[in-house]
Amino acid sequence: MNKGKAVVLVVEDSTIIRMGAVDLVLAAGYEALQARDADEAIAILESRGDVDLVFTDVQMPGTMDGIKLAHYIRDRWPPVRLIVASGAAIIEESSLPGGSSFFSKPYDDHAITDAMAPLLAGDASAGSRV
């Protein structure tokens, strides 16, 4: 994590949901970045070395969905924490990288921020599925 605010990248193709998630991240006291899809998220991760957590939707247009993105991030940027959300599917625990947290949509804002805090504090065991 940075010496300043933690940086959270929100990856969501729905503009309204993405704006709500960004507002949630900002209200929790973190810096928010946003991407519409996995390709944009990867470009941001490649250009910035300060992303601490990625909060991604599962179903997105583009070259990969949120699950593939989560695995790609875990392989390429292991320290980056992951929260995955989906309104269309309940994700099997085994399909996500270790240490990831899963939330079904619609998710409770407090549950998301409660999950972010230990992840951003460096608690690798904080990953869970809700």
C-alpha to C-alpha distance for 105 and 98, rounded to whole angstroms: 21
Residue 116 has a pLDDT of 92
**pTM for this entry:** 0.88
Asked if residues 120 and 1 have their Cβ atoms less than 8 Å apart, the reply is yes
pLDDT at 101: 87
Which of the 8 DSSP states describes residue 107? Answer: P
β-strands 101-104, 81-86 pairing:
parallel
Closest by CA position to 58, among listed 26, 82, 76:
82
- Map tokens 């407090």 to a residue: 110
What angle is formed at CA 77 by the lines to CA 112 and CA 75, rounded to 5 degrees? 100
Query: What does each of the 130 residues of the chain score in pLDDT, given as a tens digit?
Result: 445 789 999 999 999 999 999 999 999 999 999 999 999 999 999 999 999 999 999 999 989 999 999 999 999 999 999 999 988 766 666 688 888 888 888 888 889 999 999 888 875 555 544 4
One-letter amino acid for residue 102 of the chain? F
What CATH number matches the domain at 7-124, 3.40.50.300, 3.30.2270.10, 3.30.10.20, 3.40.50.2300?
Answer: 3.40.50.2300
